[in-house]
Copies of this chain bind each other. A is one copy, B any other.
Amino acid sequence: MASGVVGEEVRNKQVILKDYVSGFPKESDMQVINGTMKLKLQEGSHGIVVKNLYLSCDPYMRSRMTRVEGPNVFTSYTPGSQPLTGFGVAKVLDSGHPNFKKGDLIWGTNSWEEYSLITELEGLFKIKNTDVPLSYYTGILGMPGLTAYVGFYEVCSPKKGEYVFISAASGAVGQLVGQFAKLMGCYVVGSAGSKEKVDLLRNKFGFDEAFNYKEETDLDGALKRYFPEGIDIYFENVGGKMLDAVLLNMKDHGRISVCGQVSQYNILDQPEGVQNLMCLIYKRIHMKGFVVFDYYNIYPKFLDVMLPYIREGKIMYVEDIAEGLESGPAALVGLYSGRNVGKQVVLIARE
């Protein structure tokens, strides 16, 4: 890690993956090790040295813990040596690049460690608005926020009065999609995995209805209860049985925005089969997968919409912040058992 930097060494704690994971990840699949790091760039370097402040725990990270054959949108982690990578917020300590200077706050791809040397600067955004919590740039104002925004507005073509269903609805993305849909005048129902989360959806995020999918033995029946006339838009975060039940309850010309399938990430070897795809034909359903990276160009527009929403209290946002890099593995693993309530963040250091 220290190549390209000079000066005195400081301790640099890192979270590494011990080996590729199969099934549900455990805290013990990761390890916190003590590295070292020099905080000054070598002469001529075009990279930046940063102090990491917040790390983002995101469901997609599970797929990077598996060895992926062939090309994929995500590269697998390197067990045993390199720290995990993900999204985060950091402060620039030294810069060899004209776009960044010491003291700048940034968000984007970074590593699970206290300090990083970043040489790939694409996909880093400078944080200009600091009247909102910095941690927001791991969520509502970062990748998950943009994901919710493009997944709903660009992929679903929503219209006022439509019936919208969101799975994993209290997560970083789902909570925002539901609020976007309410702001547009849609009828919104979300599913989540605990009473506490269901209460959040109803009482904090303003969903019209919400239910705990773990308490429903018949998902098809549950959806028929909440959507007697059917679903226009499904924002898909979970896959498997839920998707199958949703297909049976879509309206003609319905749209499914495929954002994630978290129920399947830990059973990649043998994913659940989805049986009701014939509904795509009869109901003329439009199903579209998307990856937020394709929409990075609209981030400035997104920020222009979101910042006023946040400042005016039109959009609520709930975070679940774990303190200290050491708490990272447990926080990340908790995503897959649904332990987090709201967006899971790890605080490494206050500014």
Partner of A289, one of B270, B281, B294: B281
* Number of interface residues, chain A, beta carbon within 8 A: 34
Would B239 and A277 count as touching, CB distance under 8 A? Answer: yes
| 0 or 1 for each of A230-273: is its CB under 8 Å from B? (1 = yes) | 00000000010001000000000000001111001000101111
Taking beta carbons and an 8 Å cutoff, which residues of A are in contact with B? 72-74, 239, 243, 258-261, 264, 268, 270-291, 294
Query: Which chain B residues border A294 with CB–CB below 8 Å?
Result: 284
Q: Is the CB of A258 within 8 A of B280?
A: yes
Least CB distance from A76 to B in Å reads 13
A81 to chain B, nearest CB (A): 26
Contact: B277 with A281, CB < 8 Å?
Answer: no
A278 CA to B282 CA, complexed, in Å: 22
Given contacts A287-B287, A287-B288, are A276 and B280 in contact (CB under 8 A)? no
Nearest neighbor of A265 in chain B, beta-carbon distance: B278
- Smallest distance from the beta carbon of A260 to chain B beta carbons, Å? 7
Copies, count: 2
Task: Write the chain B residue with the least CB distance to A72.
Answer: B282
Query: Which residues does chain B contribute within 8 Å of A273, judged by CB atoms?
Result: 272-275
Instruction: From the candidates B239, B275, B281, B286, name the one contacting A291 in the complex (CB within 8 A).
Output: B281
Given A273-B274, A277-B274, CB of A282 within 8 Å of CB of B287 = no
Instruction: Provide the residues of chain B in CB contact with A260, threshold 8 Å.
Output: 281
Query: Which chain B residue shows the least CB distance to A70?
Result: B248
| Chain B residue with the shortest CB-CB distance to A244 | B273
CB distance from A252 to the nearest CB of B (A): 8
Docked Cα-Cα span, A285 to B289, in Å, equals 5
Indicate the member of A73, A261, A276, A280 with the most B CB atoms within 10 Å.
A280
For residue A268, which residues in chain B have a CB less than 8 angstroms away from its CB?
A: 278
Name the contact of A258 in the complex, choosing from B72, B243, B277 (C-beta under 8 A): B277
Distance of A285 Cα from B258 Cα, bound (Å):
9
A281 to chain B: which residues have CB within 8 Å? Answer: 73, 258-261, 289-291
- A288–B280 CB distance below 8 A: yes
